[in-house]
Structure 1
C-alpha cells in the first residue's frame, strides 16, 4: 500500500511539473546593444538580454540588467534594441531565436 501511494505521488509530481512548464516559443527575447563612448576602450560593445512571458517583461528584464552596469536608464533606452518572440516562424529574421534559444530553455525551464 505504501509503495502504491508513493507511486501515485511521484506520477502526480511529474504531471504537475509538465503543466507548469510553458512552451519555449511562448517566451519573448529582448536584446540591448550598447556601444559605450565613455569607456577607455573606444567602441566597447555590451549586450544585455532579457527573457519574459510578455514583451513588456522581456524588455524590463533587459533594461534592468543594462541600468545596473555603470549606466543610466536613458542610455539603455537610447541604445540599439531588438525584441522578438522565441519562435523562428514568427519573424522573417529569427536571429534572436537562433542566438538565445538554448539560454531561454536553460533559464526559464520551458519545453
Structure 2
C-alpha cells in the first residue's frame, strides 16, 4: 500500500491551515499566533531526497519568513502578506513539484 512522505503530509496540513487562515483574514477575525508546525518544512522527510539541496533550503527559509510575517504585520496588511506567502509557495513549487500549484493559487486572497 502506498504511503505518502512526511513532507507530502505536512504540505497537506499547511494547505488546510492556510485555508483557515485565509478565511479568518477575509472575515477580519483574529488570526491567533504562528503555528510551529511550519518549522517541519526543514525536517520532514521528502518523497525524493534529492529535493533537499541548498535551493530548497533557501525557498523554505523564505516561505517561513513570509508565513511568520502574516502574524506580525498590522491587520490591514495581513491580506497582502498572506498573498506574499502564497507567492513563496508557488515559487518553490515551480522549481520542484508543480502538481499542487493550482491548489496553492486558490489560496490567494483577491
Given the two structures, how large is their TM-score scaled by the length of structure 2? 0.27
**Structure with higher strand content:** 1
Over alpha carbons, which structure has the higher Rg? 1
Determine which structure has the larger helix proportion and give its number: 2
